Amino acid sequence: MKSDKLPERGEIVIDASGCVVGRLATQIAKILLKRPKLVVKVINVEKAVITGDREMVVNWFLKKISEWRTHYNPKKVGPKVPRRPDRVFKRVVRGMLPKGEAGRWALKRLKVYVSTPLELIQRETYKIPTAKIVQRPLMRYVTLEEVWRSIDPSAWEQWKKAQTVWEKRIKQITS
């Protein structure tokens, strides 16, 4: 996406489906830093992908969670490892922003959503073509939703039930 197409102020909605998490996060971090009066809303973040073997990615998350919770941190206090796709993505973007006041202000202007909220359904969405995954033979990747399902299955099941109800409601509203 060319930066001249983006507005200087207001808000934009970016669709994360089919995008690589790291590439999308770098582009969003650049947008947040270059345009201080622009609010960025990212939708469908559960459809964003992490490249690599599924087992490797899930085991990396599980190792990170278990190390914070047991070996290094027996009292279970301190930084928590996010499990939900929206929080994972926001944490990735936070890591790409500078420390200090500029990074904090930029992160406050970022809103990340799992699926599409009702108020953003009719809005124009931007796609970032440089962040899209390029399909190659034997390429392995996993979506953030699949990682969440493997790490925290009970929370994922509750969300999936609510999602089916939500989709029925959206169909009623839009038709």
Q: What is the mean pLDDT of residues 73-102?
A: 84
Highest mean pLDDT pick, 8-12, 18-22, 72-76, 165-169: 18-22
Pairwise CA distance, residues 85 & 41, whole Å: 14
Q: Which residue has the tokens 């930066």?
A: 3
* Helices (H) then strands (E): counts for the chain: 6, 6
Helix (H, G, I), strand (E, B) or coil at 143: strand
Domain count, the chain: 1
Specify the higher pLDDT residue, 92 or 64: 92
In this prediction, residue 105 carries a pLDDT of 94
Pairwise CA distance, residues 112 & 125, whole Å: 14
What global pTM score does this model have?
0.84
Quickly list DSSP for 76-141. Answer: --SPPPP-SHHHHHHHHHHHHSPSSHHHHHHHHTEEE-SS--GGGSSS-EE--GGGB----TT--E
Q: The domain spanning residue 143 has which CATH number?
A: 3.90.1180.10
% the chain with pLDDT above 70: 90
Q: Which residue has the tokens 């509750």?
A: 158
One-letter amino acid of 104? R
Domain that holds residue 104: 3-174
Give the confidence band of 104 by pLDDT, cuts at 50, 70, 90: very high
Residue 70 has pLDDT above 70, yes or no: no
Lowest-pLDDT choice from 70-74, 122-126, 149-153, 156-160: 70-74
Dump pLDDT digits (tens) for 11-51.
999 999 999 999 999 999 999 999 988 999 999 999 999 99
Please calculate the CA angle 73-76-79 and round it to the nearest 5 degrees: 80
Q: What is the mean pLDDT of residues 76-101?
A: 87
